[in-house]
Amino acid sequence: MTAAANRPLRVGIVCPYSFDVPGGVQFHVRDLAEALLARGHEVEVLAPADDETPVPDYLTAAGRAVPVRYNGSVARLTFGPVTAARTRKWLEQGRFDVLHLHEPVTPSLSMLALWIADGPVVATFHTSTVRSRSLQVAFPLVRQSLEKISARIAVSEDARRTLVDHLGGDAVVIPNGVYVDAFERAQADERWTGTPDAPTIAFLGRLDEPRKGLGVLLRAVAEVLAHRPGARFLVAGRGDTGEEQAREVLGDQAGAVEFLGGISDEDKARLLASVDVYVAPQTGGESFGIVLVEAMSAGAAVVASDLGAFSRVLDDGAAGVLFRTGDSDDLARTLVRVLDDADLREQVAARASAVVRRYDWSAVTDQVLAVYEMAVAGRDAPVGEDPSSLRGARILELRRGRESRGDR
């Protein structure tokens, strides 16, 4: 063990995406910060957030973010000279032993921090995509700065491959973490508990993002109802288009789909502990599949599209049941088969309960700390300002000047 392992570390974590509308990366950052704090380390997080948004005490809000279509989704990012100044001030005050940047090539806080900082820097890459125009555009902005990164983490093999193909270099794969015990201990809620005549199937995800697969699921509902007329589909997630989609696809059968809206972490755990099946019909762009691990931890049988990331999480189909990505007919057949076979549900759930332990935050935090130790051992001085970072600030000032004049 290194000296860093024997003393508390001051860790600065930068999240590029806004906590106003949190998603997978934000939850990862939050849970990692709290796992590190629980072990006695000092942690500060910098992330976009409005002043009115409730945030944890350890998080510094970097200001309002703007929605931008990015990598097949809508990301809420913040950028520009004012944000750069806030990032510089946070870094100066933090005097961190190690700086942990998430998605450092996303044009937001992490990219700014990478430009500004010098010292032990760890970067985690979450994105998985075959071809990303966004990464191609961003790469020239950070090409030289990427050399500052002491160690790279990818949350999955898919994310590692995206990094290698688009940015070069390599990364150690450390998965997203889940507090497995919290989901295992969750109590079923009678509102969502299925019965033999009325089994329940859950879906969680943003309703207005096509790649989350709600449309794929809705097109499978009628066939499932033909075999299981009492089946209930419980849909949780933000977005205004879900009920309209259900009416368009299902007509009079739309009542079988119940929209729960956004739900708390506690209700999510209870929902997953209640249902017979959790379905993940995503069509692409998934680097890991954290909700699969949550469902597996809660004891739900998982049915998922056969994306590479999902297949790996489900132990190549031993810890869940896979169907052909985007194929609603195959999803319907798979759901009917799983609902009809209690032994199959019990079998995959038992395998899942063993598999999920590798994703528990106790194991994931050990791996992250090992990377921190390596980064700190290679760079003795704490994180400070890169003397060349003024160049990045000048670029931003020039760009802002052109925008104010209407130049292209």
pLDDT in tens, 201-218: 999 998 988 999 999 999
Per-residue pLDDT band for 131 (boundaries 50, 70, 90) equals low
Instruction: State yes or no: pLDDT of 403 exceeds 80.
Output: no
Are 39 and 124 within 8 A, CB to CB?
no
pLDDT confidence of residue 303: 98
Alpha carbon distance 281, 207 (integer Å): 12
Are 200 and 274 within 8 A, CB to CB?
yes
DSSP H or E run through 61? strand 59-61
Instruction: State yes or no: pLDDT of 73 exceeds 70.
Output: no
Instruction: State yes or no: pLDDT of 75 exceeds 70.
Output: no
Instruction: State yes or no: pLDDT of 400 exceeds 80.
Output: no
**Structural tokens at position 225:** 């109802």
pLDDT confidence of residue 135: 57
All domains in the chain, ordered by first residue = 3-177+360-405 (3.40.50.2000), 180-358 (3.40.50.2000)
Instruction: State yes or no: pLDDT of 328 exceeds 60.
Output: yes
Question: Whole-model pTM?
Answer: 0.84
**Residue scoring higher pLDDT (188 or 147):** 188
Alpha carbon distance 246, 257 (integer Å): 7
Are 386 and 115 within 8 A, CB to CB?
yes
DSSP H or E run through 268? helix 265-274
Instruction: State yes or no: pLDDT of 52 exceeds 90.
Output: no
Give the chain's largest Cα–Cα span: 68
Instruction: State yes or no: pLDDT of 51 exceeds 50.
Output: yes
**Residue scoring higher pLDDT (286 or 248):** 248
Instruction: State yes or no: pLDDT of 139 exceeds 70.
Output: no
For residue 231, CA distances in Å to 13, 267, 349 come to 44, 21, 20
What does pLDDT average to over the chain?
88
Q: What is the mean pLDDT of residues 19-29?
A: 89
User: Of 69-78, 93-102, 311-320, where does mean pLDDT reach its minimum?
Assistant: 69-78
Q: Which percentage of the chain shows pLDDT scores above 70?
A: 87
In sequence order, the β-bridge partners of residue 42 are 10
**Structural tokens at position 216:** 């794929």
**Residue 246 phi, psi dihedral angles, 5° rounding:** -60, -45
Q: What is the mean pLDDT of residues 88-113?
A: 93
**Residue scoring higher pLDDT (246 or 391):** 246
Tell me, what DSSP letter sits at residue 300? P
Are 83 and 77 within 8 A, CB to CB?
no
Reduced to 3 states, what is the DSSP secondary structure of residue 340? helix
pLDDT confidence of residue 398: 45
Alpha carbon distance 300, 26 (integer Å): 24
Q: Which amino acid is at 141?
A: L
Number of H helices, E strands in the chain: 15, 17
Tell me, what DSSP letter sits at residue 289? -
Per-residue pLDDT band for 242 (boundaries 50, 70, 90) equals confident
Across 26-143, where does the E strand assignment appear? 42-47, 59-61, 66-70, 73-77, 98-102, 117-118, 121-125
What is the side-by-side strand order in the sheet with 301-305? Answer: 257-261, 232-236, 200-204, 277-280, 301-305, 321-323
**Residue scoring higher pLDDT (137 or 10):** 10
Q: Which amino acid is at 359?
A: Y
Per-residue pLDDT band for 83 (boundaries 50, 70, 90) equals confident
**Residue scoring higher pLDDT (381 or 12):** 12
pLDDT in tens, 278-325: 999 999 888 888 999 999 999 999 999 999 999 999 999 999 999 999
Q: What is the mean pLDDT of residues 108-131?
A: 88
Residue of 298, 347, 297 lying closest to 321 (CA atoms)? 347
pLDDT confidence of residue 89: 94
User: Of 6-15, 18-27, 91-100, 318-327, where does mean pLDDT reach its minimum?
Assistant: 18-27
User: Of 74-78, 240-244, 347-351, where does mean pLDDT reach its minimum?
Assistant: 74-78
Per-residue pLDDT band for 22 (boundaries 50, 70, 90) equals confident
